[in-house]
Chains A and B, each alone.
Chain A
Amino acid sequence: MVITKEHIYDILEKVQDPEVPVLSIIDLGVVRDVVLAEEGVEIIITPTYTGCPAMDMIEVGIKSTLQDHGVEKVKITTVLSPAWTTDWLSESGKEKLRGYGIAPPQGAAKSKRALFSEESGIICPQCNSTNTEMISQFGSTACKAQYKCLDCEEPFDYFKCH
């Protein structure tokens, strides 16, 4: 069988983000390239956040999933630049997040130096209200902030722009 890049990408669609398992690593945008060589397949990935503990699990997931599909020789290379941004999250990934109860990032990532600024008008994933407010810019994982909905009164996670 001849392995193509598309074939590898199809297999990588099956590797989940361990922290947000509705997202594949392709949805998340951490796979930057796939290089086919005589010696095997090289997968180039970039971390979401530097301390993200999911990255080690993602590497294991890539290797084992490719091996399950008969791709034995796999090398994983991590690059830091260009730095990961939520702008790379796929549209289908954003839909999946919403369905999972996490508000997807709204708008483009930009540096937010302004004090006491928060992303406003974040849409509640339960009731679609935009009458929401931030509880904390830090959440249960590095990629999320905590918000609450002032209409349905449910708290929710917001996958923050980064």
Chain B
Amino acid sequence: MANHLHDFLIHLGDNALILGHRLSELTSHGPVLEQDMAMTNIALDLVGQTRNIFQVAAKLQGNGATEDSIAYTRDATSYKNILLVEQKNGDFAKTVLRQFFYDAFNYHAYQRLLKSSNKDIAAIAEKAIKEITYHLKWSAEWVIRLGDGTEESNSRINAAIDDLWPYTEEMFKFTDYELACHDEGIFPDIHGIKAEWDEEVKNIFAEATLTVPEDGWMHDGGKRGVHSEHLGFLLAEMQFLQRAYPGQQW
């Protein structure tokens, strides 16, 4: 089915689901216990947000669709998440920076979704924004600690910036379905997000003694279903159980 609201819900849900899955890969592998728990908690919030979003998408889709069928039975080209969230965890600096770029975007995007003309989306945003605020606080603090930390931590987060900066522009390259949602007030004032995100990054990087890079060549495609090779591997693991044993439940 082609429908801008449905596409937008899938995009929102996929962002949260794929990043939630990436963070869950670190459960019991975190650098220290407290941060392992922090990343696991954030993963849980993101997967919870995904469930709320996919429940609305499933209702719209009809034909027996469920949150699970949407999460587990689509192929990579049907996923509409931004490329940033499917990037591999790398070291802790890369995990933290990926989270910060996403949280800063999400925080300002969900502030707008609070005022969505779609009641379901506004309710999800009202619930999610409190959690996203915690996430942004955590990731921003760690960007500062690592940037303004030791020589080693500074060099690692600089390497992460080199890796991830080319994935940031995609957040602000709005697709037809986002623009159609914007026109209907489902996703209000999207063109104001970039300036707020830039400001957020500028301030945190300044505190972290990091330099905001110049824009160079930028990746995009994820929101249209054109993904990096990483997503296929991620889905192979995430979807394994439902593919091998369709309909299995706890």
Q: Does A76 contact B (CB under 8 A)?
A: no
Instruction: Say yes or no: B140 contacts A47, CB within 8 Å.
Output: no
Q: Which has the most chain B C-beta neighbours within 10 Å: A49, A139, A140, A162?
A: A49
CA distance A81 to B122 in the complex (A): 9
Main SS of chain A's interface residues? loop
Report B126-155 CB contacts with A as 1/0, cut-off 8 Å. 111011011011101100100000000000
A107 at the interface (CB under 8 A from B): no
Q: Quote the shortest CB–CB distance from B143 to chain A (angstroms).
A: 10
Shortest distance from the beta carbon of A16 to any chain B beta carbon, whole Å:
20
**Given contact pairs A51-B44, A80-B52, A81-B122, A137 touches B134 in the complex (Cβ within 8 A):** yes
User: Contact at A82–B126, with CB atoms within 8 Å?
Assistant: yes
Which chain A residues (37-65) contact chain B, with CB distance < 8 Å? 47, 49-53
- Distance (Å) between the CB of B209 and the closest chain A CB? 15
Chain A interface extent, by class: 20 to 34
**B45 partner, pick from A50, A112, A137, beta carbons under 8 A:** A50
Task: With both chains docked as a complex, state the minimum distance between the C-beta of B98 and any C-beta of chain A, in angstroms.
Answer: 18
From A79, A117, A162, B130 is in contact (CB under 8 Å) with A162
A135 at the interface (CB under 8 A from B): yes
Tell me how far the C-beta of B114 lies from the nearest C-beta in chain A, rounded to whole angstroms. Answer: 10
B residues within 8 A CB of A137?
38, 134, 137-138
B46–A51 contact, CB under 8 A?
yes
Query: 19 A-B contacts, Cβ less than 8 Å apart?
Result: A50-B127, A50-B128, A50-B131, A51-B44, A51-B47, A52-B44, A80-B124, A81-B126, A82-B126, A83-B127, A112-B133, A113-B133, A115-B141, A116-B141, A117-B137, A136-B35, A137-B38, A137-B138, A142-B45
Interface size class of B (residues with CB under 8 A): 20 to 34
> What are the residues of chain A within 8 A of B65 when measuring CB–CB?
none
CA distance A66 to B122 in the complex (A): 32
Q: In the bound complex, what is the Cα–Cα distance between A79 and B55 (angstroms)?
A: 12
- A residues in contact with B140, CB < 8 Å: 115
The smallest beta-carbon distance between B119 and chain A, in angstroms, is: 8
Among A49, A81, A138, the residue within 8 A (CB) of B34 is A138
Q: Beyond the given A113-B137, A137-B134, could you list 13 further A-B residue pairs with CB under 8 A, ordered by the A residue number?
A: A50-B131, A51-B48, A81-B122, A81-B126, A83-B127, A115-B141, A136-B35, A136-B38, A137-B138, A138-B34, A138-B40, A138-B138, A139-B41
Residues from chain B with a CB closer than 8 A to the CB of A115 are: 137, 140-141, 144, 207
**Would you give the shortest CB distance from B191 to chain A, in whole angstroms?**
23
A131 at the binding interface (Cβ < 8 Å): no
Bitwise interface map of A from 15 to 54 toward B, beta carbon under 8 Å scored 1, else 0: 0000000000000000000000000000000010111110
Pairwise interchain contact A112-B137, C-beta atoms closer than 8 A: yes
Expressed in whole angstroms, the Cα–Cα distance for A161 and B140 within the complex equals 20
Given A112-B137, A138-B138: A80 and B126 interface contact (C-beta under 8 Å):
yes
How many angstroms between the C-alpha atoms of A135 and B32 in the bound complex? 12
Do B41 and A138 touch across chains, with their CB atoms under 8 A apart?
A: yes
Q: Write out the residue numbers on chain A whose beta carbons fall within 8 Å of the beta carbon of B126.
A: 80-83
For residue A82, which residues in chain B have a CB less than 8 angstroms away from its CB?
Answer: 126
Q: Which of A76-129 contact B (CB under 8 A)?
A: 79-84, 111-113, 115-117
Contacts of B47 in A (CB 8 A): 51
A138, B137: Cβ atoms closer than 8 Å: no
